[in-house]
Amino acid sequence: MKFRHEIVIDADQQSVWAAFDDPANMKARLIETVTERREPHFMAGTCESGVGNALIVNHFEDAGDGRTRWAVYGNHSFKGIFRFLGIFFAGAIRKRNEDMMNNFKLLAETKQAEHNE
């Protein structure tokens, strides 16, 4: 299952990268392996869980006016019985990814506002 999500964050690219790169901001419980990293523009990696694997690619670009555009591309593959059930999870996985991006947007914008004070 492939997906793509994009969001604009009201924080500069360096601040977004710093928040993204901080392990304390990670909420998901899975095994992540970074396969490529080009700070502050790009990070790709694989994620493993009990139900499958995902290849995740994150792009960060300057959106002007101190904002950052974050695009995430993902390709999920499922294991075992979840290969057959995966089509039923597609909407939930997309929604979870959008929610995580929105939560991160709020975190990065809050950190930027605190830094500017």
Q: What pLDDT score was predicted for residue 15?
A: 92
φ, ψ for residue 45 (rounded to 5)? Answer: -175, 180
Q: What pLDDT score was predicted for residue 42?
A: 96
15-60, pLDDT tens digit by residue? 999 999 888 887 666 788 999 999 999 999 999 988 889 999 999 9
Q: CA-CA-CA-CA torsion for 33, 28, 39, 3, nearest 10 degrees?
A: 90
Domains and CATH numbers, the chain: 2-116 (3.30.530.20)
In sign, the C-alpha dihedral spanning 110, 111, 112, 117 is: positive
Sheet of 42-48: strands edge to edge? Answer: 2-9, 67-78, 52-64, 42-48, 31-38
Q: What pLDDT score was predicted for residue 29?
A: 66
Alpha carbon 89 to chain centroid, angstroms: 18
72-100, pLDDT tens digit by residue? 999 999 898 888 887 787 888 889 889 99
- pTM for the complete prediction? 0.86
pLDDT-above-70 percentage for the chain = 97
**Cis amide bond preceding 23, omega within 30:** no
